Structure 1
Amino acid sequence: MKIVVIGGTGLIGSQVVSKLTEHGHDAVAASPNTGVNTLTGEGLDEVLRGASVVVDVSNSPSFADDAVMEFFRVSTANLLKAETDAGVTHHVALSVVGTDRLQESGYFQAKQVQEDMIKDSGTPYSIVHATQFFEFAKSLADSATEGDTVRVAPIKIQPIFSGDVAAAVGRTAVGTPVNGTVEAAGPEVFQLEDFIRKGLAVKDDPRAVTTDPQGLYWGAALQEDALLPGPDAHIAETRFVDWSARQR
């Protein structure tokens, strides 16, 4: 089975391609680095020829509100049209747990638009909602830093190892379309400040981390459990302490 992975050279995509290939599938990495550009449509028809499944784990190069909305609107429209022309029978997209609860954020507004376009496309689909990756603790800190202090909301988070996200996406890609959403999360719940503090320690980053009731998450104010998955989520096995030990 030919499976095209859009964003296939990135953190998640490269691992999805590797895992699918290990299991005997014809997994093709597609990204601007390989001559496939979903924003312009360049290379899409060629790479999708003969494909049964498309996995979209691409992301906007800019998180500015207008730019990220443009990216997901245009790239998703181009991709869905090319899939229809190629006869693709399963569209898999990676999104984020709590997207519908994060609509004060321009980024998550754009992700919601992407999801809605997929649902309305007529192509059988599966959307994988993952919690925040272990690897992105520093990015979260950067988005909430004032001076030398990281100020974050007093909320909970259930982060996951990127390799476990890739495994969840791969399993979904070779399965039957669910025409809905499945969730994947790590095995442990942290307070956000504790997760970021531990993530910065892995990088020997000395910034102080503190809670701020007015703190935002990518521009959105959240309820305490807004980032947590539902009861039917697939819970991955990799614990943060084990992942962090490998980083050192």
Structure 2
Amino acid sequence: MSSPPSSPQTMDERPLIGLSVEVLDAPHYEGRRRYQLFSDYAGCLRKAGAIPILIPGDTPPSDLDSILDCLDGLLMTGGDDVDLRPLGGPPPEDTCRPIPIEQQELNLHLVAHAKARDMPTLGICLGMQVIGLANQSSYIQHLDSAEEHTKGIEHQVVAKEGSRLAKILGLQPITVASFHHQALKETGQGLCPAAYSEDGLLEAIEDSEMTFHIGVQWHPERLPDSEPSLALFSSFVAAAQAYGREEPNS
């Protein structure tokens, strides 16, 4: 007796989202380097229904189109500090820990390539700053309140009325987790302010002309079960899923 035909395999429709990954010198291993990424980022994406794909910080820029062809969204993660010298800015202050130039250039290329495709993009902390710098935002190298922020604090931010972020988070103050000593001073070309902290610091930016192009200065992955974090990651993943359905290569 022949066996019954097997049922067709259900296609996995979860969106593939690329995550930027730091490249660092490896301690105790002279001349070697390692990749670093906190697992919270991937965990939040999985919880929201996406599959995380890592993009190493030393990836050749010439490979980006081939990589992005396979993705439905881009998450620019947090990390150390930007180096403003290649962008015509001043040298790093003593308080700065610049990321490798190759990683910074890759991050800027990632944002530009994703934007050219209208690929949903979410930037977190350093990721928001990279989005801003890719659009000529002005920059603050060291905040007066940096000592508190570099220890990791929770504080409140408010989304700007009329922004896309406000549609996701609402207009009420929300509690967020921060860990940084640098920030964007102004939004830059084509970007709009999307949230501010209680002391007036720019806490989020967005491009209203893009499907989903948002950067937040805080770390939603550090409060993964909070309603604002869940809403932000869910909205991002939903945008990536919609993008994937439109792309013939997804």
Q: TM-score range by the shorter chain?
A: 0.3 to 0.5
TM-score normalised over the length of structure 2 = 0.39
TM-score normalised over the length of structure 1 = 0.39
Tell me which protein shows more helix as a share of its residues. Answer: 1
